Amino acid sequence: MDRIQPPETNEALTGHALIQAYLKTLDNSPGVYRMLDAQARVLYVGKARNLRARVSNYARPSGHSARIARMIRETASMMFLTTRTETEALLLEQNLIKQLKPRYNVLLRDDKSFPNILVAKDHDFPQIRKHRGAKKTKGNYYGPFASAGAVNRTLNQLQKVFLLRNCSDSMFSSRTRPCLLYQIKRCSAPCTGEISESDYAASVQDAERFLQGRTTGVQEKLASEMQRASEAMEFERAAALRDRIRALTQVQSAQGINPRSTAEADIVALHMEHGQACVQVFFIRANQNWGNQDFYPRAGADVEEAEVLEAFMGQFYDGKEPPRQILLSHPIENADLMADALSGKAGRKVEILVPQRGEKAELIEGALRNAKESLGRRMAESATQAKLLKGVAEAFGLETTPARIEVYDNSHIQGTNAVGAMIMAGPEGFMKSQYRKFNIRGDELTPGDDFGMMKEVLTRRITRLQKEDPARDKGLWPDLLLIDGGAGQVSAVQEILEEMGVPELPMVGVAKGVDRDHGKEEFHRPGQRPFALRMNDPVLYFIQRLRDEAHRFAIGTHRAKRAKQISANPLDDVPGVGSTRKRALLAHFGSAKAVSRANLADLKAVDGISDSLAETIYDHFHTNA
């Protein structure tokens, strides 16, 4: 790729004149261009099949929408990168948009990974479980599902039908008798030999056939087995098979609308209204509806549907494997480039269609209806949220309506497993992608020192903000800090803000009243008398929700940390001991505690444990003993 230098001129050109000057340096190559303002902040990233032809459109003094005209006026410089192909330009554009988040581009907010069902194949008795993130574990992945709830419901039913284990390998290897799941007919208990390896493998195969949409054969097989068991007067086995067939039927009915002619596709529908957009994505896999998710990309009043959808697709499928078909509610401008880019990513053909009739058009119609309803609800919620934020500004004497409110809380049990938590709320409600956890690591803190914990949390938070947004022009700084506490906590926080050089940050402490009753909160501000809001004031309820959400997040973070500590296996910290060797040690000694007490000769006797590794394990547990 080549970077084209800006034109040399003695004048400080901007807007149309600047863009006109750049045209002399451009040829007809495909590539990506960036428009920057006077502070070198990226305003817009775009791609072009022909850079000269595309940029020349901006050099025209008229004929632009209000958004584009404003962007052109703010442009003080441009950058160009030529590419070998048009598809390469498309991919580069999407990477830069995701990295730079330009103000005038359509941006996908709250991008997230979606869960899958994993049938792990790194064990003789494969485990079935929910999986999210990189696909590093050996096995077969089925998905994506729209939510963790959709995966959990499907897993719950699959356990009833196929009786596959979901326990960890270490738990599997340490069992001496079947667990409760076996008693309630949710697992076939391969851990204690209640089912043979071949029969368990057949159940795994049936489960995978179901997840691939080949359900008819599975049902016929179960029905045939039930008939044979009944004829052999094995009525208990026949009843168990009957229950599995019923559970399988429930799974199929719970999938919702199951298209007959669409085996694998994402249904992507866009509805726009008053400058706001909602994109609904339905996941169709194995002729089954695996749920839907809505997204609200940042657009604008004069952005066309084609631009929003193309930008959404480029950012949505960055890091996600596309399906074989993507059905769109509106055509996009560069459908051929997008299909080529996604096909290259997937390593197979990906089709992009805008169906006009038949079952696929009906799927689009249903997704469009959901998008319209979701956007309507969101707009109503946003209007209410805007009133509440305005009320917060009036109640606390803020100069402007806050767009970012940060709420802090701590959680611990007598100082152990201490964590700090921060939530954020704004015009669109709780901004969960902005939530932050803080593991309290101050060694000099007294256990249970809430002031010290708050100081550590705020110091780390403000240090990061000063590093990431030193000029405060990226919108990362909060407009209001809410602290769970009274006058003492507020005074301590104010000292922290002054030490960090940001004493002007608005901050309010929320303390329960003298009776510690919900609804009698007192509000504390530095250097001012505490005050209370009316019992029925909507702003009071709003502040309570913010504080409760921070408390919920802090408690959840603390519990997760505590549970991780409780369930931690001492063998996890031994260098060179992975899952396979850990299983061998647990199978040989019965528990991690027994491993830690074993002598060197016994450790060397374990299959798969070399003499050097045995010495490492022994030293790990006895060096500081």
Class of residue 262 by CB neighbours under 10 A (exposed 0-12, middle 13-18, buried 19+) = buried
Question: Per-residue pLDDT for 11 more than 60?
Answer: no
Domain with CATH 3.40.1440.10 in the chain: 2-100
Residue 146: CB atoms within 10 A of its CB come to: 19
Which residues belong to CATH 1.10.150.20 in the chain?
570-622
Question: Residue 132 and residue 155: Cα distance in Å, rounded?
Answer: 14
Model confidence band, residue 4 (pLDDT cutoffs 50, 70, 90): very low
Please, how many CA atoms are within 13 Å of residue 254, restricted to the half-sphere of its CB?
16
pLDDT grade for 509, boundaries at 50, 70 and 90:
very high
The CATH code for residues 405-565 is 3.30.420.340
Whether 76 has a pLDDT exceeding 70, the answer reads yes
% of the chain with per-residue pLDDT over 90:
40
Binning pLDDT at 50, 70 and 90, where does residue 392 land?
Answer: very high
Which architecture does CATH list for 2-100?
3-Layer(aba) Sandwich (3.40)
pLDDT at 612 over 70: yes
Question: 265-376: what fold?
Answer: Nucleotidyltransferase; domain 5 (3.30.420)
Distance (Å, whole) CA 48 – CA 28: 9
Residue 528 has which token pair? 């001012």
Residue 256 pLDDT = 46
The residue whose two tokens read 């009944």 is 230
Sheet holding 128-131, edge to edge: 128-131, 116-120, 139-142
* Spatial separation of the C-alpha atoms in residues 269 and 609, rounded to whole Å: 56
> Mean of the pLDDT values across residues 237-253?
69
At position 138, the amino acid (one-letter code) is K
Calpha distance 151→172 (Å, rounded): 22
**DSSP 8-class letter at 8:** P
pLDDT at res. 1 = 47
Residues 435/443, Cβ–Cβ less than 8 Å:
no
Task: Quote the pLDDT of residue 253.
Answer: 54
Q: Cα torsion for 350, 353, 355, 360, to the nearest 10°?
A: 20
Residue 97 has pLDDT above 70, yes or no: yes
| Complete DSSP assignment for 208-222 | HHHHTT-HHHHHHHH
Among 9-18, 167-176, 515-524, top mean pLDDT goes to: 167-176
Mean pLDDT for 361-386 is 90
Half-sphere CA count of 368, side-chain side, radius 13 A? 16
Structure tokens at 189: 């208990």
pTM above 0.85, yes or no: no
Model confidence pLDDT, tens digit, residues 129-177: 999 888 888 999 988 888 888 888 888 878 888 889 988 888 888 888 8
Residue 558 pLDDT > 80? no
Q: What does DSSP assign to residue 376?
A: H
The more confidently predicted of residues 470 and 219 is 470
Decide: 65 and 32 in contact? Cβ < 8 Å.
no
Where does the pLDDT of residue 340 fall: very low under 50, low under 70, confident under 90, or very high at 90 and above? very high
284 pairs with which residues across the strands? 265, 289
Query: Which CATH fold topology does 570-622 show?
Result: DNA polymerase; domain 1 (1.10.150)
How many angstroms separate the CA atoms of 163 and 188, rounded? 5
Residue 235 has pLDDT above 70, yes or no: yes
pLDDT value, residue 299: 83
pLDDT at 393: 95
pLDDT at residue 450 tops 80: no
Task: State the pLDDT at residue 117.
Answer: 92
Tokens (6 digits) for 147? 């939510």
pLDDT of residue 466: 92
256-299 pLDDT tens trace: 456 778 889 999 999 998 888 999 999 998 888 888 899 999 88
Residue type for 296, please? Y
Q: 34-48, 106-120, 121-135 — which is least confidently predicted?
A: 106-120
Range(s) for CATH 3.30.420.340 in the chain? 265-376, 405-565
pLDDT of 371 above 90? yes
Question: What local confidence, expressed as pLDDT, does residue 519 receive?
Answer: 60
Vertex 624 angle, CA 621 and 625, to 5°? 70
pLDDT digits (tens, 9 = 90+) for 32-43: 999 999 888 899
Cα–Cα distances in angstroms (integers) from residue 31 to residues 46, 53, 181, 548, in the given order: 9, 11, 58, 49
Query: What is the C-alpha separation between 371 and 277, in angstroms, rounded?
Result: 9
Structure tokens at 529: 């008398």
pLDDT of 225:
79
Q: Binning pLDDT at 50, 70 and 90, where does residue 625 land?
A: very low
pLDDT score, position 414: 56
Between residues 193 and 571, which one has the greater pLDDT? 193
Residue 579: pLDDT band with limits 50, 70, 90? confident
